[in-house]
Structure 1
Amino acid sequence: MSEHPDPSTPGGTPDGPRTFRVLVVPGVNPDRWLRVWHERLADVPLELVVVEPSEAEDRLRAGAGDVAILRLPVDRDALSAIPLYTETTVVVAARDHVFSVADEVTPADLADETLVRPDDDLVGWDDAPGEPFAGGPVSTTADAVDLVAAGIGVVLLPQSVARLHHRRGLVARPVTDAPGSQIALAWVTDTHDDLTEEFIGIVRGRTAGSSRGRGTPPATPGAGGDASGRQRPRTSQQQPTRRGGTPPRARGTGPRRRRTR
C-alpha cells in the first residue's frame, strides 16, 4: 500500500513527485507566476492554497506550504521575505455617500466619518482619522463590509480586498497619503531549496537562462562551441571557406596569372 502525504505538509511520496505548495492570502493573484512555473517545471505539481491573512505566517512556519505570498510584517527571525509590491488603500462607502462623486479621498475627508475597523484589519493605519465604530467588536472584513452596506460608517481596505467584497451598493475610492498594504514572498529560511529558489526567480522575473534554481536549462553546444557552450579556439587547420567549400588562397603563395592587355 502506497503512502499518502499529509495534506498539511508539502512534499510527495516515495512513489510520486513532490508537490510545491504556495500559500496565498485573499486578493493576491499569482496566475502569471504559476504559468511560468508550469512551463519550466512541468514535472513538479504546484498547489495553490488560500489562507486567511492572520493564519498565513503560522501555517508557513508549520510546514503547510513551501512559500507564501502574504502581507507584511512577518517575523524576520524565522522567515525570509522579498517585498513585491504595495497595494493602494481605499475607503469603501455606501453608493449614496458623498465619497461616490469624488475621484479620491484625503485623510481630512475621513475626519468626520464613522470608521469601522475589523479585528482582521489589513491596512494597519493605527492613527487613521475618523470616529471609531462604537457598536462593539467587528470580527472580520466581511462583517465590516456588511455594516458599511447597511449605511453604518466606512471601512479602509487594500484595493484588491475591496474588489473581492465589491457589491452593487458600495463604492471604493483611493485615499491619498494613506499607508499601503505591502505584499511579499516569504519562506522559512531553514527550508530554502532549489525549488524555492526557482519560484523566487520566477516572481523576480528571471529568465530560464538566468535562473538559479532547479529549472535552469543545461548549456547546449552551439556552432563552434563545446559541451559547456564556450567557443572553441580556431586552429590553423580551421580556416574560413568561400562559397563552394574551398578555402581562400593565402596571400603571397602560388603562381600569379599575368594580366594581358
Structure 2
Amino acid sequence: MTSSEAPPSFRLAYVPGVTPTKWVRIWNERLPDIPLTLVPVSAGDACALLRDGGADAGFVRMPVDRDDLAAIPLYTETTVVVVPKDHLVTAVDEVSAEDLADEIVLHPLDETLDWERRPGQPAIERPATTADAIELVAAGVGVLVAPQSLARLHHRKDLTYRTVSDAPTSRVALSWPQEETTDMVEDFIGIVRGRTVNSSRGRTQAQPAAQPKGKRPEAGGARWKPAAGKAAGTAGGGKTAGRPGGKSTRSGSGGPKGGGRRGKPRRRS
C-alpha cells in the first residue's frame, strides 16, 4: 500500500432512536481488520449525508428517494404520546388521536411522523428538536407524539408514554447510494439480514464437504431396503426363518429347542 492509499474503513450513519450496537459487534467479529466508524446524523439530514459521501450506509427513517438511494425497510415503530407521569392519559394503556383533541400537542421541526392532520391544539411555536419538545412536556406546556424509540432515547423519570393506536408510524431502513454498492456494503447488508458468515449471498462462501477417500456417493441418494415383512437376506419371495413351514437358518446345538420331533416318522396309512 502506498502512502497515498488510505486503509479500508466503513462509515455507518444512524439517526436518533436507532441502536446499531448489535450489528456493529457482529461486524467487528467478522471483519476485525476493517474498522467501523459510527456517524450520528439527524433524521432530516441523513439522506443528504449519504448522497454527499459522508457515510457508506446508514440507518434512516423512511421515506427514501429511490432515484439515487437504495433502501431495505427493517422495521416499523410503535407511535406513542409522551406525557407527565400524573397526566390523565396514564390511566389507560392506549389512546387515539381523537383523545388528544383538547391537548396542546407539540410538533418539533425535526418531526418524523407524516401526519395528514395533526391532532390536538397547536403550540404558539414549534420546538426546534424532539429533545426541546421533551423539555417542554416536562415543564407542563403540552404533550408530544413520537416514535417509541425517541421516547426511550429522551427518557426522564418524571415522564412516561402511552401507545397512540391510530397515529402514523415511522419505518426505519438501511440505505446507501445505489452507485456505491461496494463489497463492504454487501457485507453489512448480510449482517443486518442475519446471514451467516458462509452464506451463499456473502463474499465468503461455504466450501463443499470433501468425500472420504474410497467412498463413492450413493446413486439416487438412497439404498435398497427389504420390503416390509421380509427379513433381510431372503431370496425373492422365500419364507422367513421362524415362520410356519420355513426352515431355520441355525443348525447344530445352536438351533432353537423344540424345533422338531424326535424318533422315527410315523408311517402314513
Q: What TM-score bracket applies, with the shorter chain setting the length?
A: 0.7 to 0.9
Deviation at 1:89, TM superposition (A): 0.6
Question: TM-score scaled to structure 1, two decimals?
Answer: 0.77
CA contact (8 A) 1:94 1:151 kept: yes
> 2:149 and 2:82 mapped to 1: Cα distance?
12
Q: Would you say the 8 A contact 1:148–1:154 is kept in 2?
A: yes
Q: Which runs of 5+ in 2 are unaligned?
A: 219-249, 253-269
TM-score (norm 2): 0.75
Distance 1:40 1:211, change over 3 A: farther
1:229-248 alignment runs, 5 A limit: 233=217
- Name the CA distance, whole Å, in 1 between partners of 2:216 and 2:191: 33
Determine whether 1:193 maps to 2:192: no
Deviates most, 112-121 or 29-38? 29-38
Contact 2:106 2:142 in 1 (8 A): yes
Change (3 A) 1:232 1:191: farther
Q: How does 1:79-158 map to 2 (within 5 A)?
A: 79-133=69-123, 135-158=124-147
Aligned counterparts of 1:96 and 1:22: Cα–Cα separation in 2:
40
The 8 Å contact of residues 83 and 160 in structure 2, kept in 1 or not, is answered as yes
RMSD: 2.3
Q: Specify every segment of 5 or more residues in structure 1 that has no aligned partner in the other structure, as ranges.
A: 4-12, 226-230, 235-258
Distance 1:100 1:233 in 2: 67
Identity of aligned residues (%): 51
Q: What CA distance in whole angstroms lies between the structure 1 residues aligned with 2:212 and 2:38?
A: 44
Secondary structure of the structure 1 residue equivalent to 2:194: coil
- Deviation of 1:150 after TM superposition, in Å, equals 1.0
Task: Tell me the distance in 2 between the aligned counterparts of 1:95 and 1:63.
Answer: 43
Return structure 1 stretches of 4+ with deviation > 3 angstroms.
231-234
Alignment deviations for residues 56-110 of structure 1 (CA, whole Å, 9 cap, x no partner): 1111111111101010011110100000000111101122210122211112211
Q: Please name the residue that 1:166 is paired with.
A: 155
Shift of 1:148: 1.1
Tell me what 1:242 maps to: none
Q: Which has the larger radius of gyration?
A: 2
